[in-house]
Structure 1
Amino acid sequence: MENKTCTPFLKRGRTFNPVLPDQLARSEPPIVLAEVTVDVSDLDRPCVLVKFSEFIQFSLLGLNPKLDIFYRLVRKTNQPEDAQILQEWEFLFEAAQVTEIANLDTNQPTVLNFCDCLEDLHTDSLTYSLEIVEIVTNSVKSYSIMNKSLSATVICEEVSP
């Protein structure tokens, strides 16, 4: 068997600007925020570090304010039935019970990382999608997700002879 060489590389993904609803249930279709596709066909046992960053800007006004956003990272291959949820994260900003906020404007950075080491996956390319699967708000005057960025850094595991 011939050992393949591996030169690490970085691939920048595409981001989207969807309309974000006040509420999103898990039973509804997810909202895709970003995706990146990497070609791993010539690599032996690659690892893909996926990094997503954003700023969540929101204004709260009222009783018991809450902003709760659930994200998930999905890996897709050339076969749609092989899609796999790799990780889920939660962003939560919630004031204490029975708290009324007159007017709060804030900007919160969020960074999500996941390392996907591939052993026996036989495919030419992989697409990683960052999705929102659930949104819960209360007393949120407005919110938006800005300055989104998704990248994938591909490296190969070193194998001792």
Structure 2
Amino acid sequence: MKGSLFLLSMLVSSSALAMQAATQVDTQSFKDNQGGVSTISFKSKHGRSILVSASVQKINHTEPNIYFTVAASKGYCSLSNPRVPQKQKWKVNGKSVSMMVHCEYSGRYGSYMQSAHAVTTKDLNYIVNQFKYSDGLVSVANPQGVSVKFANDGFTQAWQD
């Protein structure tokens, strides 16, 4: 997957960027990372670092959920108001799922990053089953045109931990 071309459409600091080509520079599966995270790193032709991740998290000791995050060196938030979470339709392996999307301010980068998780148990179960049973890769796309394929190696173990 190294060196593949990735098309990225985003809004940054209220100015829209056109479809921007970025080169994939690194991939780590759930199996590669400790803590249940699969990451894909990109570098844009303008030198921006972009990190896309899928992570298994338990918030407040509840049932686990999957969070998809897009972070960029100059910030990333596709919401018109970063402080107000929004429901969006995303595609996971071609099927539409309802996601709650919110933007968080990262003091480390001095900018926003975007995070999303399934709204309903039905959608979460679908996503989990895609990661558990798909043959190698799970395609995830948001409505702004960010589309990536996560390796599912090690997902089942991360989900059970």
TM-score, normalised by the number of residues in structure 2: 0.29
Higher-Rg member (1/2): 1
Structure with higher helix content: 2
Higher relative contact order (CA closer than 8 Å, sequence separation 6+):
1
Structure with higher strand content: 1
